Amino acid sequence: NAGVMQNPRHLVRRRGQEARLRCSPMKGHSHVYWYRQLPEEGLKFMVYLQKENIIDESGMPKERFSAEFPKEGPSILRIQQVVRGDSAAYFCASDPDGIGNTIYFGEGSWLTVV
Amino acid sequence: DAKTTQPNSMESNEEEPVHLPCNHSTISGTDYIHWYRQLPSQGPEYVIHGLTSNVNNRMASLAIAEDRKSSTLILHRATLRDAAVYYCILRETYNNNDMRFGAGTRLTVKP
């Protein structure tokens, strides 16, 4: 059973470009979380999704950021018009049943904005 | 949201036990206590969780105070591979998306 897969692992974007980060949850998991980690800081919750639904996006910046988890395919975190402050590690986690006893994290996508 | 307080850093010697404390004085009756750890350049990894009773698994033990206002993660024999940031998190049973990470405790293991 493959773990949570994130890609790309490393992404470099120029200011103003778009970044798309993908997350394939563990097989059979229908709940996905996205977290952001700035250098030398803890993880900050961004958004919680179930298949085709955003359940909680209270941690998502109001502008430029969006997330989806379609019926088929991976969850996507999209950052439009990136700025230097978006440089961070973005972690995805999946949950088998939404109860949340254990969630499983991917290895992260490191975004660098130059 | 109930908050947790952990020391910023701790040191341990290899093959000795490590006790990582966490204070959560505003914990509610439905909050589970979760511990995750994050090794350098990796995603967080589940360690253990509990509600009221002490818990043991292959990785660690969790000792929960009787009043639940504090807990301690116990690594019985620290190895160099246990060097990581350890996060103590409270998670409400009815608000499943509310898992908020603090700054955690950075554990250094000395050979």
Cis preceding linkage at A8, omega within 30 = yes
| A91/B43 Cβ within 8 A | yes
* pLDDT at residue A41, rounded to an integer: 83
Give the residue with greater pLDDT, B91 vs A86.
A86
pLDDT in tens, A44-81: 999 999 988 998 899 999 999 999 999 999 999 999 99
How far is residue B26's CA from residue B4's CA, in Å, rounded to a whole number? Answer: 8
Find residues 43-82 of chain B whose CB sits inside 8 Å of chain A. Answer: 43-46, 49
What one-letter code names the amino acid at B85? Answer: V
Distance CA A70, CA A90 (A): 19
Can you name the residues that pair with B49 across neighbouring β-strands? B34
